């Protein structure tokens, strides 16, 4: 999945690179701070852990009683008006999803496939039709047609509602600076707080079933709609807006005739991203009755992991299908690119009529021939499961070369020489030295305000009693980000230099960003049988594609004049790359680091499920052992840690302003 920043385009390279003496560069100053922290560590190892006097221990208890109270109210014999309204909303949503599912099945599988494929063909062209058909054929071949249709109906309902809520909010945010500033922290919280933490309140209010699943999905998929729509409106050139205003446009005219049409591409991108974000919640939605592909993933993990992997692959197929189809429709229907003459229009009308007739015929044939609501005929499921199982058997076998000589030693090395030392360092350095270190680095890298925010956020993690697990998590996040950034920079630069590499990387990125991590994190336990490592690798796999995309964009966007000038002076390709392109793309790379951290944090909870101690584990425990308070508190700490690390790596105000100008 792409992030908002990527969507906007990478940071433009500054025209002039500031030349500070090397000993005043940010890297050197930050390194000095780390040295200072090391001194603190050796001077007072483990002596000053976060003091209990600065903890608010009763918070979890209050939260627990709140949940019990909420449940008692909701299950009372005569619930009050609020709960009746909420129940009404959830049954309305249940009905909506059920209705879509009924429509998809009552058309029969033949009808549904034809209608979807022809629709894609009419509005998106041949490529879109091929993707749509291949996607549907995949669900059929996997023997997961019914699950896929359930997931599709859930995703369609959630996306429709997310857009209905998100686009208007985004448009307001795009037109009002104050509203934008007010809503941004809310959006951050919605995206960083793990769904596990609010699953229980959602279930108490909205019960289980598709309705609750839609609500949970929306909490995650509304933010991208708002953000991208807002960026789109802001992206309309200021002089165009001024010209329209000078010609006497009213606010309404300005919006409808200038801002909306000109931000069309971004608005369609918002649709596309909302779909992908909604799809990434399928597994979580399954835990509260969302049904669909999430169920075989969760249950397969315990009874038959091959089934979980197959269902994960179906989720990826659906993501790629919906992504490419919406992208193609956005391109094809772009009025600025399409210039139809009268004959062309007539042809198009005939095509439309033909498509409608073909759809009706297909549905009619499907019903008349009793094709069945869902596809249950020939599948290659058993064959695929056997293949997947043989790969799993290889992975689970500790006598293979792969395990003996590659993964096991690598895992041991990472744990003993990287993760554990860093964890010990962060946990045993006096807490005030750790806080001071992070704050100073934030000040050096990002400036005064971010430094103050960092201080407040780190204090918050300690205050809610999560200092120790937060340091565990921080060490994992830092290592995972370092690996993801390294990998991302190498691959990103390579992809920027070679179109073929770029082409190969794109589907890999898509797969890694939409495949539910739960599916592959357990096989990793076999390969790297040490706590910490499987979760670490899952985070790296999820985060590095974003870094690749940002770095590739950044290096590709380096002004061609600079490259030509260097070439004219006789620089070799290698020199151009190392001395011109990479330094000029520095800010894009920095942005990659920043986004990498956020992505890694998004996997913290899944990592907790696969053997990684820290905040993620506590959030899981919160849901599974009914320790609501603990889960919420750990989530607050994740959010605080996320904001702190974001500010530390965000870069200076100047960079940020440059980024905002681009949008």
Question: What residues numbered 462-521 form the site for other proteins, per CB under 8 A?
Answer: 521
The span of 8-16, 316-324, 524-532, 569-577 binding other proteins (CB under 8 A) equals 524-532
Which residues within the stretch 580-609 sit at the binding site for other proteins (CB under 8 A)? 608-609
Distance CA 278, CA 240 (A): 34
49 binds other proteins, rule: CB under 8 A:
no
CB of 209 closer than 8 Å to CB of 289: yes
Distance CA 234, CA 238 (A): 8
Distance CA 69, CA 64 (A): 9
526 binds other proteins, rule: CB under 8 A:
yes
Task: Kindly state the smallest distance separating residue 198's Cβ from other proteins, in Å.
Answer: 11
204 binds other proteins, rule: CB under 8 A:
yes
- How many residues are there in the chain? 663
Distance CA 489, CA 550 (A): 9
Distance CA 228, CA 12 (A): 19
Nearer to other proteins, 200 or 593 (CB): 200
63 binds other proteins, rule: CB under 8 A:
no
- The residues near 645 (Cβ < 8 Å, ≥ 6 apart) are 474, 477, 597, 601
379 binds other proteins, rule: CB under 8 A:
no
The beta strand positions in 38-166, using DSSP E, are none
Task: Kindly state the smallest distance separating residue 180's Cβ from other proteins, in Å.
Answer: 29
CB of 463 closer than 8 Å to CB of 431: no
283 binds other proteins, rule: CB under 8 A:
no
The span of 177-185, 557-565, 582-590, 623-631 binding other proteins (CB under 8 A) equals 623-631
381 binds other proteins, rule: CB under 8 A:
no
396 binds other proteins, rule: CB under 8 A:
yes
Among 176, 625, 654, 657, binds other proteins (CB under 8 A): 625
- The residues near 569 (Cβ < 8 Å, ≥ 6 apart) are none
349 binds other proteins, rule: CB under 8 A:
yes
Task: Kindly state the smallest distance separating residue 165's Cβ from other proteins, in Å.
Answer: 23
- The residues near 584 (Cβ < 8 Å, ≥ 6 apart) are 13, 17, 558, 559, 562
CB of 643 closer than 8 Å to CB of 474: no
Among 95, 250, 352, 498, binds other proteins (CB under 8 A): 352
Token readout for 48 is 């000053």
The span of 223-231, 284-292, 463-471, 586-594 binding other proteins (CB under 8 A) equals 284-292
Side-chain half-sphere CA neighbours of 91 within 13 A: 5
| Interface size with other proteins, residues (CB under 8 A) | 80
Helices (H), 515-652: 517-527, 533-556, 560-568, 573-575, 582-584, 586-602, 604-609, 615-624, 628-649
Distance CA 351, CA 337 (A): 20
Which residues within the stretch 627-656 sit at the binding site for other proteins (CB under 8 A)? 627
346 binds other proteins, rule: CB under 8 A:
no
Among 21, 248, 335, 560, binds other proteins (CB under 8 A): 335
Nearer to other proteins, 181 or 349 (CB): 349
Distance CA 584, CA 559 (A): 9
Among 32, 241, 490, 525, binds other proteins (CB under 8 A): 525
80 binds other proteins, rule: CB under 8 A:
no
Nearer to other proteins, 595 or 611 (CB): 611
Among 8, 200, 229, 471, binds other proteins (CB under 8 A): 200
Distance CA 661, CA 657 (A): 6
The CA radius of gyration of the chain, in Å to the nearest whole number, is 26
- DSSP classification of residue 378: -
209 binds other proteins, rule: CB under 8 A:
yes
398 binds other proteins, rule: CB under 8 A:
yes
Nearer to other proteins, 40 or 209 (CB): 209
- Nearest Cα residue to 514 out of 663, 328, 380, 323: 323
Among 522, 546, 588, 593, binds other proteins (CB under 8 A): 522
Nearer to other proteins, 473 or 655 (CB): 473
Q: What separation in angstroms does the CA of 180 have from each of 148, 173, 231, 247, 375?
A: 37, 4, 10, 27, 46
249 binds other proteins, rule: CB under 8 A:
no
Helices (H), 75-107: 81-106
Report the helix count and the strand count for the chain, using DSSP H and E: 35, 0
Among 312, 450, 534, 545, binds other proteins (CB under 8 A): 534
Task: Kindly state the smallest distance separating residue 83's Cβ from other proteins, in Å.
Answer: 11
The span of 3-11, 100-108, 230-238, 269-277 binding other proteins (CB under 8 A) equals 100-108
Q: What separation in angstroms does the CA of 381 have from each of 135, 310, 372, 452, 611?
A: 15, 8, 19, 55, 30
Among 17, 28, 420, 578, binds other proteins (CB under 8 A): 420
CB of 186 closer than 8 Å to CB of 180: no
Distance CA 38, CA 410 (A): 26
Among 288, 311, 634, 648, binds other proteins (CB under 8 A): 288
36 binds other proteins, rule: CB under 8 A:
no
Nearer to other proteins, 122 or 650 (CB): 122
Task: Kindly state the smallest distance separating residue 554's Cβ from other proteins, in Å.
Answer: 36
253 binds other proteins, rule: CB under 8 A:
no
- DSSP classification of residue 18: -
389 binds other proteins, rule: CB under 8 A:
yes
215 binds other proteins, rule: CB under 8 A:
no
- Nearest Cα residue to 597 out of 438, 467, 387, 389: 438
532 binds other proteins, rule: CB under 8 A:
yes
Which residues within the stretch 289-328 sit at the binding site for other proteins (CB under 8 A)? 289, 291, 295, 298-299, 301-306
68 binds other proteins, rule: CB under 8 A:
yes
Which residues within the stretch 114-133 sit at the binding site for other proteins (CB under 8 A)? 115
Among 71, 249, 379, 575, binds other proteins (CB under 8 A): 71
- Strand, helix or coil at 317? helix
The span of 199-207, 427-435, 456-464, 499-507 binding other proteins (CB under 8 A) equals 199-207
């Amino acid at each position: 999945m792409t992030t908002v920043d990527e969507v906007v385009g990478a940071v433009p390279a500054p025209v002039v690179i500031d030349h500070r003496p090397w000993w005043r560069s940010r890297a050197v100053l930050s390194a000095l701070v780390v040295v200072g922290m090391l001194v603190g560590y050796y001077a007072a190892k483990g002596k000053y852990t976060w003091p209990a006097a600065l903890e608010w221990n009763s918070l979890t208890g209050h939260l627990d009683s709140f949940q019990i109270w909420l449940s008692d109210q909701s299950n009372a014999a005569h619930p009050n008006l609020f709960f009746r309204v909420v129940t009404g909303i959830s049954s309305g949503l249940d009905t909506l999803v059920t209705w879509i599912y009924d429509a998809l099945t009552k058309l029969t599988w033949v009808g549904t496939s034809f209608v979807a494929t022809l629709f894609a063909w009419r509005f998106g062209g041949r490529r879109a039709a091929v993707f749509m058909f291949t996607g549907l054929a995949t669900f059929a071949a996997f023997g997961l047609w019914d699950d896929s249709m359930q997931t599709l109906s859930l995703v369609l309902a959630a996306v429709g509602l997310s857009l209905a809520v998100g686009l208007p909010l985004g448009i307001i945010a795009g037109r009002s600076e104050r509203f934008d500033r007010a809503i941004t922290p809310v959006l951050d919280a919605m995206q960083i707080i793990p769904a596990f933490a609010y699953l229980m309140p959602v279930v108490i209010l909205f019960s289980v079933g598709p309705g609750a699943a839609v609500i949970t999905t929306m909490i995650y998929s509304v933010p991208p709609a708002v953000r991208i729509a807002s960026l789109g409106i802001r992206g309309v050139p200021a002089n165009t807006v001024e010209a329209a205003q000078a010609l006497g446009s009213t606010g309404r005219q300005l919006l409808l005739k200038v801002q909306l049409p000109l931000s069309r591409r971004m608005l369609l991108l918002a649709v596309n991203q909302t779909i992908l974000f909604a799809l990434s919640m399928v597994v979580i939605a399954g835990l509260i009755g969302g049904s669909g592909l999430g169920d075989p993933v969760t249950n397969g993990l315990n009874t038959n992991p091959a089934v979980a992997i197959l269902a994960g692959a179906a989720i990826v197929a659906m993501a790629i299908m919906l992504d490419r189809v919406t992208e193609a429709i956005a391109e094809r229907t772009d009025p600025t690119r399409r210039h139809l003459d009268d004959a062309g229009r007539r042809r198009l009308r005939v095509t439309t009529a033909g498509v409608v007739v073909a759809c009706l015929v297909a549905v009619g044939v499907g019903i008349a021939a009793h094709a069945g609501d869902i596809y249950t005929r020939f599948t290659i499921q058993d064959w695929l499961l056997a293949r997947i199982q043989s790969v799993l058997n290889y992975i689970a076998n500790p006598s293979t070369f792969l395990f003996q000589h590659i993964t096991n030693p690598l895992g041991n090395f990472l744990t003993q020489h990287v993760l554990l030392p860093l964890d010990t360092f962060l946990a045993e350095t006096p807490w005030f030295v750790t806080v001071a270190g992070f704050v100073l680095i934030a000040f050096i890298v990002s400036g005064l305000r971010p430094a103050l925010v960092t201080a407040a956020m780190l204090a918050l993690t300690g205050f809610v009693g999560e200092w120790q697990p937060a340091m565990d998590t921080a060490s994992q996040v830092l290592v995972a980000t370092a690996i993801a950034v390294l990998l991302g920079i190498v691959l990103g630069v390579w992809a920027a230099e070679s179109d073929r590499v770029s082409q190969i990387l794109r589907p890999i990125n898509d797969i890694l960003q939409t495949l539910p991590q739960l599916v592959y994190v357990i096989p990793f336990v076999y390969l790297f049988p040490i706590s910490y490592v499987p979760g670490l690798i899952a985070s790296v796999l999820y985060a590095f594609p974003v870094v690749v995309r940002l770095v590739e964009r950044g290096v590709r966007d380096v002004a061609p004049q600079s490259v030509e000038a260097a070439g004219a002076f006789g620089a070799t390709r290698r020199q151009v790359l190392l001395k011109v392109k990479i330094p000029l793309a520095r800010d894009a790379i920095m942005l990659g680091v920043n986004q990498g951290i956020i992505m890694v944090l998004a996997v913290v909870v899944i990592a907790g499920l696969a053997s990684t101690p820290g905040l993620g584990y506590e959030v899981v425990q919160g849901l599974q052992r009914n320790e609501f308070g603990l889960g919420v508190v750990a989530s607050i700490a994740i959010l605080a840690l996320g904001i702190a690390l974001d500010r530390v790596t965000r870069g200076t105000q100047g960079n940020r302003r440059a980024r905002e100008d681009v949008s």
